[in-house]
Structure 1
Amino acid sequence: MTKLSVNINKIATLRNARGGNNPDVLKVAFDAEQFGAQGITVHPRPDERHIRYQDVRDLRPRIQTEFNIEGNPIDSFTELVLEVIPTQVTLVPDGNDQLTSNHGWDTIENRSFLTDICKTFKAAGIRTSIFVDADPKMVEGAKVCGADRVELYTEPYASGYQANREHAIAPFIAAADEARRVGLGLNAGHDLSLVNLAYYHQMIPWTDEVSIGHALICDALYLGLQETIKQYLEQLK
């Protein structure tokens, strides 16, 4: 079964716009789990413009499902992950001023660095995933680095879905096949939505986990969080 991990960064963005604690990030995470989400994802950035490092510390004892922390493994991020010990860490090559993730790692060019950081996290018992583009070579490189999983950057699929979904999904099937061939677990995330998720899952049903934030939170404004999570889970059946 493909698990749904709800990224709650946008909840923190809304909270931070006014200060205080409304909406309550911890309560939303708890509610998402109660409504059926099988994981919670956060992506703390150095400027803490949405999820703050303290949020991660506060969330850890409250999460009853899987806890996934995404980010660029700079020293402060690495120290935070080793402090809280999530279920999974997802390595993302974000710049400090980057609006959102927009590419995966070059696992060949960065092999030495990624190998060292994978060893560090795996020694602490943390499942380690590397964020990659839909390129079989990058998937194979992640295996060489010692990752447990890859997360496919799905924005190109989402942006091409309406025009030609068969063409858009093709490189992702190739990358997913390579992950299965080399024995890597498979995650996916970025711009997956109620529009395109069911087809993605239909074509790559061996996906272990999808991490969805922006579209899911936007849908929740209209449908409510409980109904939204229900509908996303329906796409994964």
Structure 2
Amino acid sequence: GDLGMITAQDALVLLSWSGETAELANMLTYAKRFKVPVVSICSNRESTLARNSEIALVLPKVPEACPHGLAPTTSAMLQLAVGDALAIALLERRGFSAEDFKTFHPGGKLGAQLRLVQELAHGTGQMPLLSVGRPMSEAVIEMSAKGFGVVGITDESGKLIGVITDGDLRRHMAGDLLAQPVQEVMSRNPRVIKGDVLASAAMEFMQDHKVTVLFLVDEAGAPVGILHIHDLLRAGVA
């Protein structure tokens, strides 16, 4: 009954090792009646299936791995390989992108990996930020209040020029630490990321550079968000 959904705008890909599978007879009859093109994958060029196909992909007749030569083992793997090759060729021909994959496969781990960084990042109000010239006492308060273990430092134009981490605090621990200006303690040229990067790429970037927090910046280098590795893990990106 569901054959009625198939029209001449579609194509049937029919698989049969012998090319004489009785269950395919009705499908072939329907295809011929309504001019539905048939692509066959079988091992017999002279079979009913191959002879009635617009395109016949004929596989080599190799012995089955089954010791009795009966169970479809080697033949099933050959057909699977050809099917995968066809799928990838079609994907490339149509220009199917990772963004398209995300649209049509939004769930599960794969969907999580295809999400963009900006979808998982924390926005402006949650970013720990201070401008140059502020004292370290404010940096410690900001770091503790926002809970990311880092403070971003911006210049007069709003561009992110450095970060202060827990490690920076330990390296500069001294009696006058809290009175020092933030630019004396910060690490310059921090690692940053753009919001349109895939979450899976962000995870790889964090692992490669051994960081747990990244600021998102715009084209001008101004911070627009912050991403913690825990955000990626909660989303299922691992």
Q: TM-score, normalised by structure 1?
A: 0.26
Bigger relative contact order, structure 1 or 2 (CA pairs below 8 A, ≥6 apart): 1
Q: TM-score, normalised by structure 2?
A: 0.26
